[in-house]
């Protein structure tokens, strides 16, 4: 039987980042919220080992969103969170990585606030930092780049503002480029960056399923990336990294299971 909040407490939803995969990378606050939740609305990319931390009797609802797959409508997710919170339950919205980095956390926060529901945001480690770090790539290094840009490779299709990144400007920026959700459009992304002036021999990396037993990574160049991904059968979820920081990577190819043996 789930515990309900005291009637004197206003409804609240926690938007919690589950990090890149390994439950050891959860924050302490995220762990406490997971263990206390009555209802968990989980994204598709949350690792099964993290979901195993949910308390017995809590209800787990999968509301995942994956490119090319049947996804839960965002409006339904909003309505479900509002309904469960106003019923007095301890509601947790669990997202891979960080709730505010390509996780629609801002949209969900707005919907909850508009319904009079308080929102707590618990940050998580985003894949754009954790995936490159897993093979020794620092996304910022003063010897290589003045900063980093985190960019979506999957533009909006509803005609809204900021439909697509300005790839020409990004190519000329001198920043490390970390691209989320870019595998399906990798050939177009490479062509756009090349057209913007980024050299074909710019170091490139792809890291898939970071910080899970399925992790795979490959190092190559911008010009050879599409062919390398195909030949090594690198699949999503993955992040792409472009810039000379990639030259600091440990190895040309990595299997995360090598690390698991020492855990």
What residues are labeled active site? 43, 65, 181
∠ CA 29-178-64 to the nearest 5 degrees? 55
Structure tokens at 252: 């040309």
Rg (CA), the chain: 20
Q: What is the DSSP string of 117-141?
A: -EEEEE----HHHHHHHTTT--S-B
| Cross-strand partners of 62 | 42
Q: Give whole-number Cα distances, 184 to 38, 45, 93, 234, in Å.
A: 36, 17, 27, 11
C-alpha closest to that of 129 among 97, 105, 152? 97
H or E stretch covering 72: none
What secondary structure letter does DSSP report for 246?
Answer: G
């Amino acid at each position: 039987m789930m515990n309900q909040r005291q009637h004197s407490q206003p409804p609240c939803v926690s938007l919690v980042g589950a990090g890149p995969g390994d439950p050891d990378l959860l924050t302490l606050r995220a762990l406490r919220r997971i263990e206390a939740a009555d209802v968990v609305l989980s994204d598709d990319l949350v690792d099964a080992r993290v979901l195993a931390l949910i308390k017995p009797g809590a209800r787990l609802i999968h509301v995942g969103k994956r490119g090319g797959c049947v996804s839960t409508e965002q409006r339904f997710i909003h309505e479900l969170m509002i309904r469960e919170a106003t019923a007095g339950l301890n509601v947790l919205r669990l997202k891979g990585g960080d709730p505010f980095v390509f996780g629609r956390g801002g949209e969900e926060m707005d919907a909850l606030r508009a319904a009079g529901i308080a929102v707590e945001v618990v940050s998580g480690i985003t894949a754009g930092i954790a995936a490159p770090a897993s093979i020794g790539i620092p996304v910022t290094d003063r010897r290589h780049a003045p900063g980093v840009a985190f960019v979506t490779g999957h533009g909006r299709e509803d005609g809204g503002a900021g439909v697509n990144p300005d790839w020409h400007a990004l190519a000329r920026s001198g920043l490390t480029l970390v691209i989320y959700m870019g595998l399906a459009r990798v050939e177009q992304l490479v062509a756009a960056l090349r057209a913007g002036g980024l050299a074909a021999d710019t170091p490139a990396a792809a890291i898939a399923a970071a910080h899970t037993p399925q992790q795979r990574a490959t190092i190559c160049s911008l010009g050879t990336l599409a062919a390398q991904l195909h030949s090594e059968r690198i699949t999503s979820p993955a992040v792409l990294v472009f810039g000379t920081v990639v030259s600091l990577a440990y190895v040309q190819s990595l299997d995360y299971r090598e690390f698991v043996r020492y855990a």
